[in-house]
Amino acid sequence: MKPKYIIVAAIVAAFVGFIVFSPEGSKNISGSASSGRKPIPAEGSPVPALALKDLSGAQFNIESEKGNVVIVNFWATWCPPCKAELPSLNNLYAQMLDRKDLKIVTIPYNDSPENGLKYFKDNGFNLPILVDAGGQAAYRYGLTGVPETFFIDRKGVLRKWIKGPIHFDSQDAINYINTLLAEQS
């Protein structure tokens, strides 16, 4: 066999081996067999189910929040960009606290809720923390990293998915949120 064909055969075999044996290709987050494709929510489509408890045990269910605008922020204490954006998210939360039609929740990713609570207490943050045991919500929402934020309208439709840190208390962000709040369900 010519060296050129051996190299091509080796590349093809490596590619097939990667597809067959990669963790994404063989199991989903719960460990069961799957097509290997992560669900990816699309802007303009209904958001995936999200039913989690907060640290006090109170249930948060995205279905029950229809009629409200919801901001879901995935973050971690080990993530410097997450830590950089949290003060602005906390400022937004404080500014909008009287708006009963706006819900802001945070979900630690690959981090313990206890670490999140300690970090919030140490920094004077009052944001709600939801517990995503096993990372099921992160998986359903197609999380690619942290921080990531999902803006959900009154109908339960994903309007904006921001990957990376943002300034939640900037005028642009506040204007966008007010636009969502002004819409009827």
Tens of pLDDT, residue by residue over 19-51, are: 333 333 333 333 334 445 567 889 999 999 999
Each domain of the chain, given as residue ranges in start order, spans 1-37, 39-182
- Below-50 pLDDT ranges, the chain: 8-10, 12-35
Residue 45 three-state SS: coil
Which tokens is 147 given?
Answer: 């921080």
Mode of pairing for the β-strands spanning 130-131 and 148-152: unpaired
Question: How far is residue 102's CA from residue 182's CA, in Å, rounded to a whole number?
Answer: 11
Find out whether 109 and 75 touch, Cβ atoms under 8 Å: yes
> Tokens 């269910």 identify what position?
61
Instruction: Return the CATH number of 39-182, one of 3.40.1130.10, 3.40.190.290, 3.40.30.10, 3.40.630.30.
Output: 3.40.30.10
DSSP string, 168-183: TTSHHHHHHHHHHHHS
Q: Whole-angstrom Cα distance, residue 168 to residue 2? A: 60
* pTM for the full predicted model: 0.80
Tokens representing residue 65 in the block = 């929040």
Residue 13: per-residue pLDDT: 46
pLDDT, position 29: 31
Q: What is the DSSP-derived secondary structure letter of residue 135?
A: G
- At residue 106, the pLDDT reads 98
Cα-based angle 150, 156, 157 (whole degrees, multiple of 5): 65
Secondary-structure breakdown of the chain: helix, strand, coil percentages, each rounded to the nearest 5 = 40, 20, 40
The size of the chain, in residues, is 185
Q: Count other C-beta atoms under 10 Å from residue 133's C-beta.
A: 9
Task: State the pairing for strand pair 148-152/69-75.
Answer: antiparallel
Model pLDDT, residue 170? 96
